[in-house]
Amino acid sequence: MSTIRGLIFDMDGVLLDTEKIYFRCWLQSAKELGYPMSEEAALHVRSCCAAHAQPYFRQLYGENFDYFKVRDRRRELVSQYIAEHGVEQKSGITELLQFCRESGLPYAIATATSKELAEQRLELAGLAGQFPQIVGGDQVLHGKPDPDIYLVAAEALHLPPEQCVAIEDSPNGVTAGLSAHCNVILVPDLTPPEAGDRERLFGIAENLKEVIPLLQAAGIGEKEHAKKSCIGSL
């Protein structure tokens, strides 16, 4: 394993508690437009770009499944919900960002959401200005589960992807991170870890705060801790 020098966050389901909203709105949108959609199918497309999601749904529900019509209505429903209820942060963000700053660990966001919309939702969640580098799904040719977005985010940090940890919550995001040759930490959101995850991932954490000991185990933060200990002994 390469030395870890940077952190790349997925947004929905990792930083923001929004995946549950997308999930409900996929089901509602499909139902309104007369299409069946199982909970399993709605969960399957988390963080998934249109190039992968459209053929997936058509394979399940036939070539007449109007993916973009269903997706656009889902987006409307999500926006309506967020306008009424706001956006919640996921647990442990404050502690993990503080650890990154104290350790000198640069970080970025790599999200399937467009950059402009990501910035709006981060602001609604009280996280405006907390992430100097944001790469949105509209900035890459191939979205998750392809690796492009993590490659661009690593480049924004001026680091090779092998020296970055990607923090993800979904199988599509995990695939994207691993395909980019990032080290991946899974923080499960709507579904538990999949079989074999513990063997192929850098680690699995219950929440973002629990990511910190995984990073410390890799030696991140040791120099800062030693520096503070030295100052305290003067």
pLDDT digits (tens, 9 = 90+) for 101-156: 999 999 999 999 999 999 999 999 999 999 989 999 999 999 999 999 999 999 99
Could you tell me the two tokens for 231?
């100052």
Say whether pLDDT at 232 is over 90.
Answer: no
Is the pLDDT at 12 greater than 60, yes or no? yes
For the chain, give the percent of residues with pLDDT over 70.
94
pLDDT digits (tens, 9 = 90+) for 179-210: 999 999 999 999 999 888 889 999 999 999 99
Res. 227: pLDDT tops 80: no
Answer whether residue 45 shows pLDDT above 50.
yes
Sorting pLDDT into bands at 50, 70 and 90, what band is 221?
confident
State the amino acid at position 57 in one-letter form.
F
How far apart, in whole angstroms, are the C-alpha atoms of residue 85 and residue 104?
35
- The C-alpha atoms of residue 201 and residue 170 are separated, in whole angstroms, by 13
At 228 the pLDDT is 46
pLDDT digits (tens, 9 = 90+) for 156-176: 999 999 999 999 999 999 999
**Which DSSP symbol is given to 184?**
E
Quote the Cα angle for 221-152-206, to 5°: 45
DSSP string, 106-148: -EEEE-SS-HHHHHHHHHHTT-TTS-S-EE-GGGSSS-TTSSH
Q: How far is CA 221 from CA 5, 20, 104, 111, 152, in A?
A: 11, 33, 8, 26, 25
What is the side-by-side order of every strand in the sheet holding 203-204? 134-135, 107-110, 6-9, 164-168, 183-186, 203-204
Residue 41 pLDDT level (bands cut at 50, 70, 90): very high
Angle between helices 222-232 and 93-103 (to 10 degrees): 70
**Nearest-angstrom CA–CA distance, 19 and 17:** 6
- Residue 14 Cα distances to 68, 88, 93, angstroms: 25, 11, 9
- Classified as helix, coil or strand, 167 is strand
Tokens of 193: 């870890």
Q: End-to-end CA distance of the chain, in Å?
A: 36
Any idea what the Cα angle at residue 220 is, between residues 195 and 179, rounded to 5°?
Answer: 40
CA distance 146 to 94: 29
Residue 226 pLDDT > 60: no
Please give the model's pTM, rounded to 2 decimal places: 0.92
- Rg, the chain, Cα only: 18
